[in-house]
Amino acid sequence: GNSVTQMEGPVTLSEEAFLTINCTYTATGYPSLFWYVQYPGEGLQLLLKATKADDKGSNKGFEATYRKETTSFHLEKGSVQVSDSAVYFCALSGSTLGRLYFGRGTQLTVWP
Partner 1 sequence: GAVVSQHPSRVICKSGTSVKIECRSLDFQATTMFWYRQFPKKSLMLMATSNEGSKATYEQGVEKDKFLINHASLTLSTLTVTSAHPEDSSFYICSARRASSTDTQYFGPGTRLTVL
Binding site for partner 1 (CB under 8 A): 32, 34, 36, 41-46, 49, 51, 89, 93, 96-100, 102-105, 107
Q: Which is nearer to partner 1, 77 or 93 (CB)?
A: 93
Q: Which is nearer to partner 1, 17 or 65 (CB)?
A: 65
Residues 89, 80: Cα–Cα separation, whole Å: 17
Q: Which is nearer to partner 1, 19 or 103 (CB)?
A: 103
In whole angstroms, how close is the CB of 87 to partner 1 at the nearest point? 9
- Cβ(13)–Cβ(19) below 8 Å: yes
The DSSP secondary structure of 63-89, one letter per residue, reads: EEE-BTTTTB--EEESS--GGG-EEEE
In whole angstroms, how close is the CB of 16 to partner 1 at the nearest point? 27
Residues 39, 57: Cα–Cα separation, whole Å: 20
